[in-house]
Amino acid sequence: MITVFGSINLDLVVAVQHLPKAGQTVSGPEHQSFPGGKGANQALAARRAGAAVRMVGAVGQDAFGPLALTNMREAAVDLSAVRRLPGASGLAFIGIDAQGENQIIVASGANARVDADWLEGCLVKSDTLLLQGEVPFDQTQRAIERARQIGASVFWNPAPVPAENILASLDTVETLVVNESEAQDIATRAGLPGALAAFIDHLATDTRRVVVTLGAKGARAGFAGNRYQAGAPAIDAVDTTGAGDAFCGALAATLDAATPFERALKEGVAAGALACTATGAQSSAPRREDIHRLADQIV
């Protein structure tokens, strides 16, 4: 079972010819709305990749709350630990250009009030606790500590990277996933090696996998003294929103099923690539059979 402790949003998406610069206004023909939030995105991605998934988080008591839960509910993600709090749900405002690149502004809403105490009775030793960076860092720390006490596995994708020093929280993390810019941010602020291979080698241990996603270049990783690389397959990108979440959800689901790490990494890359071929962070999350098929082609 994967227990996700994280954010739940509704995404408002506008397609534009080019993304705005500072002070610039750009227009698109219409907007679309999609359930989102990195926690919910990864929960749905893990469920579609074949895992049993429980979501722990919050939405507001507004009209956006039920909409934000739609895809997870339809996919049979366990939502019994999701709270409806007074006030607004989390919202993300997303612009997507003609090349599929995006800019995102997030209003945290109820996500700013999630509480690690909600994991009580929802997390057991056999679980994987899946975390991101869109809920308060002190609650993420408490969630990691709770997992350590129980003996559950911790999979952390600190995106966006918290302003606080995250290194002290890594001791009990079994899987750390960041993209290239996040790795550089962590390295700069923590005084770690900036070169990608050195960053991975510094943080990877016999018990901790460190993965850096590279977009169209695939992913690189380190674990137990070994280095791994998986190239990305050629795809026609429509929307990169949610590709990283699809990667994390599929990787977490595959590792939770005790799949060897090298194969799990390929399935994560395959899921991330497939997510770029459709619009929306959750609607683009691929199915297990499609992930497996594409992962077979990755070297």
pLDDT at 74 over 90: yes
Q: Which pLDDT does position 161 carry in this prediction?
A: 94
Q: Which residues of 43-54 are buried (b: 16+ CB within 10 A; e: fewer)?
A: bbbbbbbbbebb
pLDDT at 266 over 90: yes
Q: Pick the range with the lowest mean pLDDT from 59-63, 222-226, 272-276, 278-282.
A: 278-282
pLDDT at 24 over 80: yes
Confidence of residue 104 (pLDDT cuts 50, 70, 90): confident
pLDDT at 100 over 80: no
What is the distance in angstroms between the CA of the first residue and the CA of the last residue of the chain? Answer: 29
pLDDT at 123 over 80: yes
Taking each helix axis as running N to C, give the angle between helix 288-295 and helix 261-275, from 0 to 180 degrees, rounded to the nearest 10.
Answer: 110
pLDDT at 175 over 90: yes
Instruction: Give the residue numbers marked as catalytic.
Output: 245
Ordered domains of the chain (ranges, CATH): 2-18+32-295 (3.40.1190.20)
pLDDT above 90 covers what percent of the chain?
80
Higher pLDDT, residue 262 or 102: 262
pLDDT at 50 over 90: yes
- What does the pLDDT average to over 74-91? 97
pLDDT at 110 over 80: yes
Q: Which pLDDT does position 278 carry in this prediction?
A: 87
- What does the pLDDT average to over 29-44? 93
Q: Which pLDDT does position 120 carry in this prediction?
A: 95
Residue given tokens 């860092």 in the structure block: 137
Q: Which residues contact 198 (CB under 8 A, 6 or more apart)?
A: none
pLDDT at 290 over 90: yes
- What does the pLDDT average to over 82-93? 96
Q: Which pLDDT does position 173 carry in this prediction?
A: 97
Distances (CA, A) of 224 to 141, 174, 207, 209, 265: 25, 11, 7, 8, 15
Say which amino acid occupies 172.
T
Distances (CA, A) of 244 to 239, 271, 273: 12, 9, 9
pLDDT in tens, 7-20: 999 989 898 999 99
- What does the pLDDT average to over 117-136? 96
Q: Which pLDDT does position 235 carry in this prediction?
A: 87
